[in-house]
Amino acid sequence: MLKISYLLRNSKKSYIIYITSNFGGGLTFKVGRCRIQDLLDARGMTQQDLANKTGYSKQYINDKIRSRGKNGMWVATAKTIAEGIGCTVEELYEWERVEEDSSYDKERGNG
């Protein structure tokens, strides 16, 4: 069984996803570059097309694209946007693996 925790890192305001299993250990990822505009371009869609499909305003979509992962988004929002584009939630961002002995682990008391 996996446990997924969404944590906000105070110093850089970047979201970290920490995944652990019953077997011990864990994988830590942080959200990298937002790929929404790339995905829209690849499908011949505009931000307005996505806004129309999701019910979010074009400005809201643009804000999510420009944040480049700094502010992240709620899981439900990510799912709605992913469905509107026709991709998975994971595809919305580039993901960066954080090494197990990173300062982030030390901040959580695991290092």
Tens-place pLDDT, residues 77-100:
999 999 999 999 999 988 888 776
| 35 vs 104, more confident | 35
- Structure confidence at residue 10 as a pLDDT band (50, 70, 90): very low
CA–CA separation, 102 and 66 (whole Å):
27
Alpha-carbon distance values, 90 to 33, 47, 77, 96 (Å) = 12, 19, 13, 12
Q: Taking 70 as the threshold, does the pLDDT of residue 47 lie above it? A: yes
Q: What percent of the chain has pLDDT over 90?
A: 40
CA–CA separation, 46 and 106 (whole Å):
42
Q: Taking 70 as the threshold, does the pLDDT of residue 14 lie above it? A: no
Q: Taking 60 as the threshold, does the pLDDT of residue 29 lie above it? A: yes
